[in-house]
Amino acid sequence: MVSEAGTSTRLSRRGLFRGGLGIAAGIGLAGGLSGCGSALSAGLAGTQLAPGTIMYWNLFGGGDGVRMVDMENAYQASKGSAPLQAATFAWGNPYYTKVTLATEGGAPPDVAISHLTREKNLAEAGLLEPITDDMLASVGLSASDFNQKAWENQKVGRNTYALPLDTHPFVLYYNIDVCKKAGLIGSNGRLVPIHGTAEWESALTAAKKATGAFGCTVSTVGDTATSWRWFQTLYSQRDGNTPWLADGGTKLTYNKELTLDTLAYIQKLTKTGLMPATTDYAGAQTLMFTGKSAFYLEGEWEITTAEAVKGLKFSMEPIPTLFDKPACQADSHTFVLPRKNRSPEQLKTTLEFVRFLLGQSMTWAEGGHIPAYLPIKDSQAYRNLKPQSFYAPAADFAVYDAPAWYSGSGSNFENVVGAQIGLVQQGLATPKAALASIHQQLSVYADTPSPL
Amino acid sequence: MSAQLEASVLGLTPRTDVGRGSRRTRGMTRAAWLFIAPFGIFYILFMIWPVIYMIITSFFNTSLVRKGFGSFAGVANYHEMLTRPDFWSALWHTIQFTIYTTPPLVILAFVFAVLANRVQHGQWFFRLAFFVPFILPSAAIALIWTFIFTPSTGLWNSFQALLGDQNPLPVLGTPSIAMVGIAITTLWWTIGFNFVLYLAGLQDIPRELYEAAAVDGATQWQQIRAITIPLLSRTTTLVLLLQIIASMKIFDQVYLMTGGGPGISTQVLLGLITGTAFTDNRIGAASAASVLLFIVIVIITVARQVITMVQERRAARND
């Protein structure tokens, strides 16, 4: 009796084990049969997905994501394309952590998107392959094909680690109907140019009258990046401004007087009610889209959202020069090659893929980004693209965040500084208190040796 | 027959011989170890070793992007954390959140459980209503409540505007009340767990006690004070301990709802640790902060345990 029971248990256990093997084999087989390979079976066996597959990681959501998928599809439909496996992740710090850990773990993608301001840190951490002139030439590219502002800024020392895809500056959106009502539209149908703070405030006052609510909106709550972009745009427009950080972030070198004055100006705009003191990212756009504000400040990528609003007539311009010289906060999306052993063929296939996507910059430009690839940017087709081409000059006076191991788009630096600027906008902190808090928090980073 | 042989080789054959009792026990111990082994290996690999690793790295300048431990830092990481103002503010926010959430989560769960337990018909509905939020993932909870707390146009601000407050403060955008917003979210989300524990405890109390008390003329309130609360004290001890530990480990809601803002007014220790480790690439410094949080939790837990022991001893003496 005991023996029988024992046998039956043993048998069923073996059966279970066999069954498990069967399932595993089945997965393997299925993977082998379907030419392109299954990610699961490749993962289980630790093999490459399919010989020559390009792994491409990016951080594009929303309208950008849709356009990038269009570009990927165009690549796959093109002659001689390699199999492509693209993965999209949520942007910001988690994305860079993923790229870092994957590269450290020896399983990075073949090519990845990185912000220009974050690429430098990845490169300094030894996570990227340098891109030589020969490598570029092998696929018919050269340094002169790219916007020089972006090209010079991506360099680490003398080395190139990134191929810029675009420049994405902080820009001004406006509601045409509201601006017409406020008398701010010129005979050419575009916004009458605004120079200096006096003109800006009178335009906002006229707009406020027309809307009955606000003149201009920018998010102030729960979005540190936008607050930083708005401040950095105005700060950079001033004569005598100095970069916020120097020597790789070990020194805080902002101009205190100009910082306090710019903060005070930003606060004045919300205190006088020309701009809302408390509104979040979605709220700021909704106010402009629904005609409760004439202007809206954000990166140009929100063009897709604006286009999707039925009946909204809008256009865009670079941020007006309110102070001494044109400037706007910006960053660039770039292609980087995470460190890994590549055969010459793999490298060529990867670079050909990048070149193909650069050639698709027109699709990308429709999403608002200013192409960094000059053959497209200088084309007639792009010049005809409106309102995108209206703010294209912004790429040439773009201001990138100062390099430091803790700075860049979506970084701790932006979080620390942007958070305090947000409080200033909301009227919850004085410029002086905000700057003191910023200084105290940044000092901790400045005093810490770079972990890169 | 062969099975028996195999079993005896493994030392599993049951023996009734009294003289070999010690051997039998040994055999059972071995079997016990075999059963524990799979879990034990995972426990050591994924629990004990990472903790040891964390303690070691906290004394080094370990970087996420460099191989090995990096240079020896001594107590520099601890010194840095203990002198960083944002570390202290994050620690305070963690404790603040614990203070905001623990008492209501224990007291309200008790009150609701007592009320639900008295319902004669349709008790299932109340159990369901209180427990359903708990099964939702934190991401869904964060979405729901961020929506409710949307500045100006959200449900809460609209309600305030309806009552006549023309410029209501955005809950998650105001440093002084952002943490309250997160605490309310957490309260709504997690009360079901404590509620169920209390309900189970309540159903273990024999009905005769209440009947006897009623016969003796005790009021409802007296019954709760003299029977329910004392007999649930073990449940309360458990609920309180679990709640304090859970609250000290607050992370998801803050990460998803405010990202530590506005400013750093809701930044909690786990947020600081995650940022230091994975954004700053400073594993060593993050480990030091983790060890400090670990110590704080141990201190609070031990303190609570000591208080309970003292109380119990005093109660025993009074008897």
Secondary structure of B250-301 in HEC code, one letter for each residue: CCHHHHHHCCCCCCCCCCCHHHHHHHHHHHCCEHHHHHHHHHHHHHHHHHHH
- Which residue from A minimizes the CA distance to B146? A222
Out of B66, B170, B278, the one facing A221 most closely (by C-beta) is B170
How many C-beta atoms lie closer than 10 Å to residue B227's C-beta? 17
Q: What is the pLDDT of residue A3?
A: 37
Confidence of residue A45 (pLDDT cuts 50, 70, 90): low
Strand partners, A175: A314
CA distance A447 to chain B (A): 10
The reported pLDDT for the residue numbered B15 is: 47
Which residues does chain A have within 8 Å of residue B175's beta carbon, measured at their own beta carbons?
423, 428
A376 contacts A365 by C-beta, under 8 angstroms: yes
> Domain check: are A114 and A126 in the same one?
yes
Tell me if A3 is assigned to some domain.
no
Distance to chain A for B131, nearest Cα, Å = 30
Residue B143, chain A, CB below 8 Å: the answer is no
Measured in whole angstroms, how far is the alpha carbon of residue B124 from the centre of its chain?
26
Please check whether residues A365 and A321 belong to one and the same domain.
no
In whole angstroms, what is the distance from residue B104 CA to residue A328 CA?
Answer: 49
Q: Tokens in use for B294? A: 């670990």
Do B260 and B266 form a contact (C-beta atoms < 8 A)? yes
Q: How confident is the model at residue B291 (pLDDT cuts 50, 70, 90)?
A: very high
Look at B173 and A222 and tell me if their CB atoms are within 8 Å.
yes
* A424 and A300, same domain (yes or no): yes
Distance from C-alpha of B310 to C-alpha of A316, rounded to nearest angstrom = 70
Quickly tell me which residue has 């960083």 as its tokens: B84
Q: In chain A, whose CA is at the least distance from the CA of B65? A: A125
Both A216 and A131 in one domain: the answer is no
Q: A87: part of which helix (H) or strand (E)?
A: strand A84-88
Is residue A203 located within the same domain as residue A304? Answer: yes
We report the CATH number of the domain holding residue A381 as 3.40.190.10
pLDDT at A320 over 90: yes
Which has the higher per-residue pLDDT, A302 or A37? A302
Alpha helices in A360-411 (DSSP H): 361-366, 374-377, 380-383
Which among A7, A100, A423 is the nearest to B3, CB-wise?
A7
Percent of chain A at pLDDT > 70 equals 89
Written as six digits, the tokens of A199 are: 């003109």
Taking a C-beta distance cutoff of 8 angstroms, is the pair B55, B68 a contact?
A: no
The whole domain housing A229 covers: 170-330+411-447
Measure A448 CA to nearest chain B CA, in Å: 9
Q: Which of A427, A417, A434, A422 has its CA nearest to residue A220?
A: A422
Per the structure block, which two tokens stand in for A425?
């906008």
pLDDT tens for A4-25 read: 333 334 444 444 444 444 444 4
Residues A383, A422 share a domain: no
| Closest residue of chain A to B61, computed from CA coordinates | A451
Dihedral angle sign, alpha carbons of residues A159, A156, A118, B88 = positive
Weakest-pLDDT range from B124-128, B175-179, B257-261:
B257-261
Pairing of strands A295-299, A166-175: antiparallel
pLDDT band at A52; cut points 50, 70, 90: confident
Among A104, A224, A441, select the one facing B86 at the smallest CB separation: A441
CA-nearest residue of chain B to A11? B3
CB–CB contact A279 B151 (8 Å)? yes
**How far, in Å, CA of B113 to CA of B126, rounded?**
9
- Give the C-alpha separation, A78 to A356, whole Å: 9
Q: Does B68 touch chain A (CB under 8 A)?
A: no
Q: How far is A337 from chain B (nearest CA, A)?
A: 16
Residues on chain B touching A97 (C-beta within 8 angstroms)? 278-279
Say yes or no for a CB contact (<8 Å) between A279 and B152: yes
Between the alpha carbon of residue B273 and those of residues A74, A133, B266, the distances in Å are 42, 41, 14
Q: Does A19 fall in a domain? A: yes
Q: Per residue in A190-199, pLDDT tens?
A: 999 999 999 9
Pair A420, A348 in one domain: no
Total structural domains within chain A: 2
Q: Is A399 inside any structural domain?
A: no
Domain assignment present for A405: no
Nearest CA in chain A to B4: A3
Contact (CB, 8 A) for A419 and B262:
yes
Answer yes or no: do A200 and A270 share one domain: yes
**Chain B nearest C-alpha distance from A67 (Å):** 26
State the nearest Cα–Cα gap between B294 and chain A, in angstroms.
23
At B247-260, the pLDDT tens digits run: 999 999 999 998 88
Alpha-carbon distance A70 to A157, whole Å? 35
CB atoms within 10 A of CB B178: 26
Convert chain B into a string of H (helix), E (strand) and C (coil). CHHHHHHHHCCCCCCCCHHHHHHHHHHHHHHHHHHHHHHHHHHHHHHHHHHHHHHHHCCECCECCCCCCCCECCCHHHHHHHHCHHHHHHHHHHHHHHHHHHHHHHHHHHHHHHHHHHCCCCHHHHHHHHHHHHHCCHHHHHHHHHHHCCCCCCHHHHHHHHCCCCCCCCHHHCHHHHHHHHHHHHHHHHHHHHHHHHHHHHHCCCHHHHHHHHHCCCCHHHHHHHHHHHHCHHHHHHHHHHHHHHHHCCCHHHHHHCCCCCCCCCCCHHHHHHHHHHHCCEHHHHHHHHHHHHHHHHHHHHHHHHHHHHHHHHHHHHC
Give pTM, 2 decimals: 0.79
User: In this predicted model, what pLDDT tens digit does every residue of B190-246 receive, in sequence order?
Assistant: 999 999 999 999 988 998 999 999 899 888 889 988 899 999 988 898 899 889 989
Rounded to an integer, what distance in angstroms lies between the CA atom of residue B115 and that of residue B98? Answer: 25
Q: How far is B261 from chain A (nearest CA, A)?
A: 7
pLDDT value of position B279: 85
pLDDT at B21: 54
In a domain, A404, yes or no: no
Query: Which stretch of A99-113, A315-329, B65-79 has the lowest confidence by average pLDDT?
Result: B65-79
Residues of chain A with C-beta less than 8 angstroms from the C-beta of B264: 416, 419, 441
- Could you tell me if A274 and A197 are in contact, meaning their C-beta atoms sit under 8 angstroms apart? no
Task: Please indicate whether, in this complex, the C-beta atoms of A452 and B173 are within 8 angstroms of each other.
Answer: no
Asked whether residue A183 falls in the same domain as residue A291, the answer is yes
Which string of DSSP letters, residue by residue, matches A90-104? --SHHHHHHHHHHHH
In this structure, are A297 and A248 located in the same domain?
Answer: yes
Contact in structure between A225 and A219 (CB atoms under 8 Å): no
Say if A400 falls within a structural domain: no
For A437, name the nearest residue in chain B, comparing CA atoms only: B263
Q: Is A243 among the domain residues?
A: yes
> How much is the average pLDDT of A316-320?
96
Asked whether residue A279 falls in the same domain as residue A322, the answer is yes
pLDDT value, residue A26: 43
Q: Are B81 and B195 in contact (CB under 8 A)?
A: no
Task: Region of A250 please: left (phi>0), alpha (psi -120 to 50) or beta.
Answer: alpha
Neighbours of B156 (CB within 10 A): 18
Q: Which two tokens stand for residue A185?
A: 């539209």
Nearest CB among A412, A423, A448 relative to B275 is that of: A412
The pLDDT tens digits for A364-418 are 999 999 999 999 999 999 999 999 999 999 999 999 999 999 998 888 899 889 9
Model pLDDT for residues B11-63, shown as the tens digit of each residue:
444 444 444 556 667 778 888 999 999 999 999 999 999 999 999 999 999 88
Please provide the size of chain A in residues: 452
B80 at the A interface (CB within 8 A)? yes
The pLDDT value recorded for residue A27 is: 43
Residue A444, pLDDT above cutoff 90 = no
Residues A151 and A24 in one domain: yes
- Check CB contact under 8 Å for B65 and A125: yes
Instruction: Give the model's pLDDT for residue A24.
Output: 45
In a domain, residue A402? The reply is no
Q: Which residues in chain B are closer than 8 Å to A222, comparing Cβ atoms? A: 172-173, 258-259, 261-262
